[in-house]
Amino acid sequence: MKNILVTGGCGFIGSNFILYILKRNKDLSVINLDKLTYAGNKMNLFTVPKDRYTLVQGDICDKGLVDSLFNQYQFDSVVHFAAESHVDRSIDTPNQFIQTNIIGTLNLLEESKKFFLKSKTKDFKFLHVSTDEVFGSLGMDGKFLENTPYDPSSPYSASKAGSDHLVRAWHRTYSLPTLITNCSNNYGPYQFPEKLIPLMIINAIKEKPLPIYGKGENIRDWLYVIDHCDGIWSVLCNGKIGSTYNIGGNNEIKNKDIVKTICNILDEFIPRKNNESYSELITYVKDRPGHDFRYAIDANKISTELNWTPRESFESGIKKTIQWYLQNSNWWKSILDNTYRQERLGVIK
């Protein structure tokens, strides 16, 4: 039985990853270290096999805790998701992002290094999950490559850029076996309702305004979360140590077109009582400070080296996502009742 430490495994991508690997691998045991902040939900993992899953509530910045977990479980791999990840919140409270994303990653690297050097485990790997936002903003042309210079725009992306640099440095300086993945925008089940797609779905269901920043012209590449999990697993199993892999969905779409697509699908799935389209609820609001115009991932490297490509088109993935939120209203209603009030964040006054 191999033991994998997953940090931030009660979050959106982390919980989907744990569900994905435990379903497909009977010889794995996952220890999930999660602080259970506002975006962490242990109910995301209610269905996992209890004999191969352990939740440890704690902070990746807690050196004593991380050290004790390494000593107890002798991890074969670390898959590091734990991060503050919402751009708007980073504008309001950047200190939290620096503490978790940089200091927390530093602590994990140091404890991993100590364990690796002591155990002489040849197969140990540290996989750091990052974002395409570290590359900054694109114009109308070009895509992010693995060697694209970093140019972060927000406190969030700057903190992730810093953690990426630390991971590379620990590989080059200490020979720690590391891997980095930089992904495009994820969507799918269990995404916290502050993000664009679940916010639009839930607001439409509740007949509330659908706020779009600026003119809605900003472009993102969209990746279905299960495809992302599959890509991460491919990199962990077969990626070249010390390498970075971009993981993208090949779906460049304007924000306003994302919202219109959601409205059109909801028009089909649950027509409004007044027979109007949900698109009538769209409203344009003041843009986010430093809002990057366009992200686009070139995922040719992971496709060529590891034979990975996304299975879902945006059309198929968004329908699955909307169906999930319709069928799991208790999940998001609990969040709206207890955790998230849908307040506007990241507005510089």
Active site positions, annotated: 132-133, 156
Residue whose pair of structure tokens reads 């042309």 in the numeric block: 141
Cα 51 to Cα 28, 29, 30: the distances in Å are 10, 8, 10
Please tell me what DSSP assigns to residue 122: T
3-state secondary structure string, 152-175? CCCHHHHHHHHHHHHHHHHHHHHC
In the chain, alpha helices (H)? 12-24, 63-73, 87-92, 94-97, 105-119, 155-174, 196-205, 225-238, 255-269, 300-306, 314-327, 329-338
Burial of 52 (0-12, 13-18, 19+ CB in 10 A): middle
77 three-state secondary structure: strand
**Residues 6 or more apart whose Cβ sits within 8 Å of residue 249:** 184, 221, 222, 223, 224, 227, 297, 310, 312, 314, 317
Distance CA(84)–CA(159), nearest Å, equals 9
Helix/strand/coil percentages in the chain, nearest 5: 45, 20, 35
